Structure 1
Amino acid sequence: MKANMLAPLSLAERLADLAVDALIDEAELSPKPGLVDRRGSGAHGDMNLALMQASALSLWPCLRQMAEAAQRIGHIATPLRAELGRLGREGEAAMLVTTAGVNTHRGAIWALGLLVAAWALNPADSDPLNVTARAGRLALIEDPAAPIADSHGLHVRRRYGVGGAREQAQQGFPAIIGHGLPQLLRSRSAGVGETPARLDALLAIMAALSDTCVLWRAGEQGLAVLQQGARAVLEAGGSASLAGRRHLRALDARLLHLNASAGGAADLLAACLFLDKAGSL
């Protein structure tokens, strides 16, 4: 009897696998200040690790279809942007069914959807700087079918004059390219384990990002606590050092006291881990 052999995965399926793996890796990374992780729910009374894992898995079809759309359409223009918007809204609906209405990964759908599509557009050029540049060009195109936005992020952008997730994407994800990914590589080169290297990457993103999730929950005071606290951990030697861990615990306590969660930074860490993983394809 012949062995039951699985068919080889398509490029779109492999990219979706890596994106979902990145989301789960981000959710399981611990200890993350103020965020859902293996220890508990952080500042989120309506979320837990199991919910984050289920949410990530629910996005696999959407992410695969986004990569397939990029391969099929083949160039950066309004038709691809419109298709990505449609698929993103369908993916969000599937996510909300899975989570019973809890917004676990709306920002991640935006970031990872763009990056998966950008990667699939030119698999021969997987340099993170070029992938994020292609994603930025896609993000600059208006989605002709996008509904009128009325989100927390929009209110925060208007009140505080920050760019949010949309601007991050349109600029080619500077928080990832300029901060998260370089810090990930620096920490690995210093010989720390993978967990502290990823925590350091998250902290580098937190220190640089005007996180609209934090601004919504805790205003400018909360954002200052986040950015200054993240810098303090890195300046003390990072999350692998004793001094860094003390600062990390202090930051976690302050964010929990403020009920502040850096969801935007978490989404960008997942995107950072995706780019790191996809380089091996």
Structure 2
Amino acid sequence: MHALKLYKLTLAERLADLAVDALIDEADLSPKPALVDRRGNGAHSDLHLGLMHASALSLWPAFKEMAEVAIEWGQIGLPLREALGRIGREGEQAMLTTTGGVNTHRGAIWALGLLVAAAALEPESTGAGAVALRAARLALLNDCHAPQPLSHGAQVAQRYGARGAREEAQLGFPSVLQRGLPQLKKSRLQHHGEQNARLDALLAIMTDLADTCVLYRAGLEGLLAMQQGAQAVLDAGGSASLAGRRQLHELDQQLLALNASPGGAADLLAACLFLDRIDGAS
């Protein structure tokens, strides 16, 4: 059955459900290196799993409205881009109200908001590549109403010449399409189990991503530790193997010692899970 036609929901409601589900599934996934999961708060002193759930649920109205305006405008252009920016900022304020000022999902609002709108624009064309391309076209448009102060991620992206969340979207989410989704499908075909397949997808994203969250917290040392450690897990057989689990534990401990939490990779895993759910549905 079409992933976007289940239950008696509108298209916008279903897409919002899928986006929130992706955020909750990402938060619940365990054991993630130095990230909030069912074991604990990772490298974060101000986050916990319940807060991540509450934050994700608070974003449902924003995702629904993003889908609705995409359906209303019906085409990619500056009016839609500016509407998405406004809704995203309102969603961020709702998130911050829910979390008491803690930034839980700012990057995810950007990534998933674009993907939700892109899926809503052409619900009969939901292949991952097609949706990501429409999202990229939206991301390339300049929202003149966006605030000018640079986020932490944008600051370190400039400092290190890294590809931040904006550039990742503008390029069509290569970390998801070229790393995360292929690894997710590969691990499933190898019968690693769904949770291990999702962990492997996260690790695949981490192997190549210049994660600005890690750069902000731990600089190039942290980034290198994340990328090399994630590759070591996959080289050892992935998270479904005993050797891979040992490498994963080692990576977790190393990133915790560096206070390096790969939040950018986590946001892209949520994007990966969203695209996986709607990929090719017709």
Q: TM-score, normalised by structure 1?
A: 0.97
Structure 2 residue 22 is the aligned partner of structure 1 residue 25: no
Structure 2 residue 74 is the aligned partner of structure 1 residue 85: no
* Corresponding residue of 1:238: 238
| Mapping of residues 1-281 of structure 1, within 5 Å | 8-279=8-279, 280=281
Q: Which amino acid in structure 2 is aligned with residue 90 of structure 1? A: E
CA distance in 1, matches of 2:74, 2:130: 16
* Deviation per residue, 1:107-155 (Å, 9 max, x gap): 0000000000000000111110010000000000000211113211121
Q: Which amino acid in structure 2 is aligned with residue 122 of structure 1? A: E
* Deviation per residue, 1:51-80 (Å, 9 max, x gap): 000000000000000000100001110000
Q: Which amino acid in structure 2 is aligned with residue 11 of structure 1? A: L
Specify the SS of the correspondent of 1:147.
coil
Specify the SS of the correspondent of 1:156.
helix
* Deviation per residue, 1:13-39 (Å, 9 max, x gap): 000000000000000000000000000
* Corresponding residue of 1:4: none
CA distance in 2, matches of 1:26, 1:226: 18
**8 A Cα contact 2:128 2:278, kept in partner:** no
CA distance in 1, matches of 2:200, 2:97: 33
CA distance in 1, matches of 2:154, 2:167: 12
How much does 1:84 deviate?
0.1
CA distance in 1, matches of 2:149, 2:71: 29
Q: Which amino acid in structure 2 is aligned with residue 209 of structure 1? A: L
CA distance in 2, matches of 1:272, 1:155: 25
User: How many residue pairs are counted as aligned between the two chains?
Assistant: 275
CA distance in 1, matches of 2:206, 2:121: 29
CA distance in 2, matches of 1:277, 1:101: 31
CA distance in 2, matches of 1:29, 1:261: 15
Q: Which amino acid in structure 2 is aligned with residue 277 of structure 1? A: R
**8 A Cα contact 1:135 1:172, kept in partner:** yes
How much does 1:158 deviate?
1.7
CA distance in 2, matches of 1:163, 1:238: 26
CA distance in 1, matches of 2:49, 2:61: 21
Gaps of 5+ in 2: 1-6
* Deviation per residue, 1:30-51 (Å, 9 max, x gap): 0000000000000000000000
CA distance in 1, matches of 2:151, 2:17: 29
CA distance in 2, matches of 1:192, 1:158: 38
CA distance in 1, matches of 2:36, 2:90: 25
CA distance in 2, matches of 1:8, 1:231: 43
**8 A Cα contact 1:188 1:197, kept in partner:** yes
Q: Percent identity?
A: 67
